[in-house]
Structure 1
Amino acid sequence: MRASRFFISTLKEAPSDAEIVSHQLMMRAGMIKRLGSGIYTYMPMGLRIIRKVEAIIREEMNKAGAIELLMPLVQPAELWQETGRWDKMGPELLRVKDRHGRDFAIQPTSEEVITDVVRTEIKSYRQLPLNFYHIQTKFRDERRPRFGLMRGREFTMKDAYSFDRDQAGMQQSYQRMFDAYVSIFNRFGLKFRAVAADNGAIGGTGSHEFHVIASTGEDALVYCADSDYAANMEAAEALPLVASRPAAAEALTKVATPDATKCETVAEQLKLDLSRTVKTIALTVETETDGKLTKQYFMLLLRGDHELNEVKVNKVAGLGAYRFSTEAEILEVYGCVPGYLGPVGTKAPVTVVADRTVANMADFVCGANDAGFHYTGANWGRDTAEPSIVADLRNVVAGDASPDGKGVLAIERGIEVGHVFQLGTAYSESMKATFLDENGKPAPLQMGCYGIGVTRILGAAIEQNFDDKGIIWPAALAPFELVLCPMGMDRSEAVKETTERLYAEAVAAGIDVILDDRGLRPGGMFADWELIGVPHRVVIGDRGLKEGNLEYQGRRDTEATAVPVADVISFIKGKIAA
């Protein structure tokens, strides 16, 4: 490729709406161009990277036995209504009508469509296992699109779906996809971590997320350096910090705590450590039976220095459809304003759900259900009934014991770029996708689901690999592997002849090379390619040629290296292979 015949459009400054590094650098490097909120045109430089990402994914998916197809972007509402997701998805699902008034979805994912394909094609266990995948445009109507390709509305994803006759087969398919993902991300040249995760709205039983490690990542990843334990914050298990409850040592005392609606303020007023306090979170669950609405009230108790994990709360029996109680409900049930609630002497019956650590606390501080007052020396069994439910409710913190008993937990930031799910029969049962087993009886298909955010990989890779000059692409993802930068090619026959010969040799050697023949000054030329992030650069100039050398510099190198002209191609091939 010659730069004069390619489209290169770089900027010195990023647009003002580009908030994070990857967004800023992709805009400056001319890789994307904003069309609307969360919608981008992939410019030629950016599209080259996307195609390289897709090529690696296709090779590894094909190697793992998956078969490529292509499902439509526009999907009939009837399929989504079969699974109930037409209503559950909410405003993220973009709904449209055709000229006949029929409802359609602009797909954010394809579980319904692939299940429909398979239920019409698969009749017997002899046709299983199967794994289909596609790389397709997606649309999710994000409330607040931001960060460029990291959280856009239109994006490209690779979806794969496995179908098996039993759970054991599904788990084998899941492991094959997990291993394929490890190979894919290793080939990308990115530092990543696979972590246990919550399935969320997609349903199913088990799942893992793949995160690119980056200090700017939105997600907290929990891991143990002494074992294989790893999970995202939503799924990381928090063990009780106290192994068993000590005996009560203090009397229950009601103390004045004016204007202290937060545990931090209470601890400060009472000159106690925050870990001695217990905070109360009031929840309401509404159920409708025969047109009659009933409410159940739950009191969640968490240590004052801990954070509530809402995903874990959803898994507590009876709390799958919880909401935070209104102030009016709190006044009615507890007879007190928020900020002073506690398990001792509640006005009305409530279900007390204590975090594991709180259940083992003694002599704790809690609200007295009286505005301006707290109790000190509160104890289970003596001052209030034992909690109705004890559950893991909190986010882990660095230094907590690892759930596998092999060390302590650490936390780092990551950007989610892939997710694999064990769906089981969540979709096949609702859509009646069955096959005839060995006994000739119908059985639901066991499914797995596997996604990679193709365009998101670009943003994540940049967040992990950049400096003050621009992007530093891993070799496998770079738009070009090598850039040739001739100095005064239009004025020096020696430079021109050497450059053309090197270019031809690089192309013949299979190197993805671009020749910058735009005639720019060295400073502008170098700045462009450092911004764009091409990993290898060779400068051809009269001064070096007189000594029989060319100047090589890797994108991460601080200084250039002189390389004999005759050795340059083999030298570059060695660098690329490394």
Structure 2
Amino acid sequence: MRASQYHLNTLKEAPAEAEVVSHQLMTRAGMIRKIAGGIYTYMPMGLKVLRKIEAIVREEMNRAGAIELLMPVVQPAELWQESGRWEQYGAELLRIKDRHQRDFVLQPTSEEVITDIARNEIHSWRQLPVNFYHIQTKFRDERRPRFGLMRGREFTMKDAYSFDRDEASAQASYDAMYAAYQRIFTRLGLTFRAVAADTGSIGGTRSHEFQVIADTGEDLIVYNPDSDYAANIELAEAPCLLAEREPAREALEKRATPEAPKCEIVAEQLGLPLSRTVKSVVLATDPAEGPVRLWLLLIRGDHETNEVKVGKLPGLGDGYRLATEAEIDSVFHCAPGYLGPVGVDRQAVTVIADRTVAHMGDFVCGANEAGYHLSGVNWGRDLPEPDLVADLRNVVAGDPDPRGGTLAIQRGIEVGHVFFLGDKYSRALNATFLETDGKPAVLQMGCYGIGVSRISAAAIEQNHDERGMIWPRAIAPFEVVLCPIGIGKSVAVREAAESLYQALLAQGVDVILDDRDARPGIMFADWELIGVPLRVTLGERGLKDGIVEIQARRDAQAQRIAPADALAHVLERLKSL
């Protein structure tokens, strides 16, 4: 490729709405152009990156035995109604009507369509196992699309679906996809971690996320540096930090805490560590019949509530919400900020304590009176035991790992997710096959997604500096850029650049020759912004002295190489990138 025949349009400044590095740099480098909120045009260089990612994904999926097909973006509502997700999915599911007023959706994922295919195409155990996949446009109507390709509304995803006879073989299919994902992200040149994860709205009983490690990631990953344990913070088990119940040493005391609705302020006013305080979270559930039910969750003051864990508790799994001030006042007779479990009507409120809180003694909590808290609170003496003790909180760095060692936390960007679905969709859509005994059995399913377009953004979040992007070789828009200085004025430069260019092409290298005759500063700035892994600079003075300069994007200094050795050196250096 020659730059003069390609579309290069770099910008000095990123648009004001570009909050994260990948959005800023992809826009400045001319890889994407916004057309609407969360919807982008992939410009030629951005599309090259996307296609390279797709190629690696496709090769490894095929290698793992998956079979490619292509399902539609527009899907009939009937399938989503049949699975129950028409009502469950929420506002992210974009519902549309055709000219006949029939309901359709723009697919965010394809469990329903692929299960419909399976129930019509798979009839016998002899056809199993099978794994279908496609790489297709998806649409999720994000409330607040942001971060460019990191959280857009329209995106490209690879989703695969396995079908098996029984759970054992389905788990084997899951393991095969897990291994394929390990190969994919290794080949992409990314630093990543596979972590145990919550199944979320997709459902199922086993799940792993593949996280690209990046300081700007939205997800928190809990891991043990001394073992292979890793989990998304939503799923990571938070241990009890107290081996046994602390004994009561203090008398119960009501203490004035004016203008102190938060534990941090209470601890400061009372001169106590934040870890001695307990905060109250009041939730409500709306049963089909009868009055609203209130739930009081108790978390240590320096910990945060884990909403995913809360949503799995008995009585809260079908949905909960924050209680209104009126509902709170009807039971606690106090506004939020000073709530606590002491003296609460346990017929009206279910009290759930985090594991650590259940072992605390002499703790501080709200007195259910504005401007006051109670200190020296102890279970059994001052209030009944909690109705339920459960893991309610997020892990924090330094927590002990129940399996041994200490837990650490790092940030990551989710780029892949594998699920064991079981019969969640196959049973709902009556997808069965005939077993060896001639009787129908329900198919066992797995689901495996990769955010193809998000990978391009995640790679940049992980690989960049103050000058621009630093692409891994496997997915760089070009592997090598040739920068001939004064190509329009020097025959020697032009001939040397053309010779090396043709030699690299003959070796299958994805190379671009910058023949724009631009000033060196402009040329270098453009390619440092774009992040091509290897740059070769040829100038008239250097050629007279018998040298060309070769510099990897991460290197601080260029290497001086004899022109005759340039091809061999470039090919060798590419192996390490």
Instruction: Name the TM tier (shorter chain).
Output: over 0.9
Cα deviations by residue, 1:244-292 (Å, 9 ceiling, x for unpaired): 1122222222222222221112212221111111111111111114xxx
- SS for the counterpart of 1:171 is helix
Aligned to 1:444: 442
Q: 1:515-563 CA deviation, whole Å, 9 max, x = no partner? A: 1111111111111111111111111222222232211111111111111
| Residue aligning to 1:538 | 536
Aligned mate of 1:306, from 303, 308, 312: 303
SS state at 1:476 partner = helix
Separation of aligned partners in 1, 2:273 and 2:528: 51
Mapped partners of 1:396, 1:575: distance in 2: 43
Q: Which runs of 4+ in 1 moved over 3 A?
A: none
Alignment of 1:372-387 (within 5 A): 372-387=371-386
Distance in 2, Cα, partners of 1:275 & 1:193: 31
The 3-state SS of whatever aligns with 1:300 is strand
2:146 aligned residue = 146
What is the SS of the residue equivalent to 1:427?
helix
Is 1:358 the equivalent of 2:357?
Answer: yes
Give matches, 1:469-488, under 5 Å: 469-488=467-486
Residues 10-61 of structure 1: CA deviation (Å, up to 9, x unaligned): 1111122211111111011000011111111000011000000000000111
Q: Does 1:15 align with 2:9?
A: no
- Of residues 330-339 and 41-50 in structure 1, the stretch that sits farther from structure 2 once superposed is 330-339
Partner of 2:565: 567
Please give the alpha-carbon distance, in whole angstroms, between the structure 1 residues aligned to 2:269 and 2:481.
Answer: 65
**Residue aligning to 2:547:** 549
Which sits farther off after the overlay, 251-260 or 94-103? 251-260
Counterpart in 2 of 1:190?
Answer: 190
Count of residue correspondences: 574
Give the structure 1 partner of residue 89 of structure 2.
Answer: 89
Matched residue type, 2:496: T
Q: Secondary structure at the match of 1:119?
A: helix
Q: State yes or no: 1:268 paired with 2:268.
A: yes
Q: Which amino acid aligns with 2:153?
A: R
Equivalent positions of 1:67-466 (< 5 A) are 67-289=67-289, 293-320=290-317, 321-347=319-345, 349=347, 350-405=349-404, 407-466=405-464
Q: Offset of 1:372 from its aligned partner? A: 2.4
In the alignment, the residues of structure 2 paired with residue 8 and residue 84 of structure 1 have an alpha-carbon distance, to the nearest angstrom, of 47
CA distance in 1, matches of 2:467, 2:396: 36
Partners of 2:41 and 2:47 in 1: how far apart? 9
Offset from partner CA, 1:403-457 (integer Å, 9 cap, x none): 322x101111111111111111111111111112222222211111111111111
Shift of 1:6: 1.0
**Unmatched tracts of structure 1, length 5 or more:** none
Distance in 1, matches of 2:260 and 2:553, equals 55
Provide the rounded CA distance (Å) in 1 between the counterparts of 2:135 and 2:298. 45
Deviates more, 1:112-121 or 1:258-267: 258-267
Letter paired with 1:344? V
CA shift for structure 1 position 373: 2.2
| 2:44 maps to 1:39 | no
Aligned counterparts of 2:373 and 2:554: Cα–Cα separation in 1? 59
Normalising by structure 1, we get a TM-score of 0.98
Q: Distance in 2 between matches of 1:495 and 1:267?
A: 72
Q: For the residues of structure 1 that align with 2:466 and 2:297, how far apart are their CA atoms?
A: 47
- Alpha-carbon shift at residue 391 of structure 1 (Å): 0.4
CA distance in 1, matches of 2:270, 2:11: 57
Q: Which residue of 2 aligns with 1:510?
A: 508
Greater Cα offset, 543-552 or 127-136: 543-552
CA distance in 1 between partners of 2:27 and 2:326 (Å): 49
- Counterpart residue identity of residue 468, structure 1: E
The 2-side partners of 1:495 and 1:384 are apart by: 86
Matches of 1:345 and 1:16, distance apart in 2: 53
Whole-angstrom CA distance in 2 between matches of 1:183 and 1:446: 25
Amino acid in the other structure paired with 2:293: Q
Specify the code of the residue in structure 2 equivalent to 1:449.
C
Q: CA deviation at 1:348?
A: 5.5
SS of the residue aligned with 2:427?
Answer: coil
Q: What amino acid does structure 2 have at the position aligned with 1:358?
A: V
Is 1:59 the counterpart of 2:59? The answer is yes
Identity %: 67
Aligned-pair RMSD on alpha carbons? 1.1
Residue matched to 1:523: 521
Quick one: which amino acid aligns to residue 333 of structure 1?
Answer: V
Tell me the amino acid that sits aligned with residue 98 of structure 1: D
The AA in structure 1 aligned to 2:247 is A
- Displacement, 1:66? 0.7
Q: Which amino acid aligns with 1:312?
A: K
Q: Any idea what the Cα deviations from partners look like across 1:271-328, whole Å, max 9, x if unmatched?
A: 1111111111111111114xxx432211111111110001100011111111111110
* 2:487 aligned residue: 489
1:335·1:347 contact (CA, 8 Å) conserved in 2?
no
Q: Which moved more, 1:231-240 or 1:365-374?
A: 365-374
Structure 2, unaligned stretches of length 5 or more? none
Which has the larger displacement, 50-59 or 336-345? 336-345
Q: Which amino acid aligns with 2:298?
A: L
Distance 2:266 2:545 in 1: 76
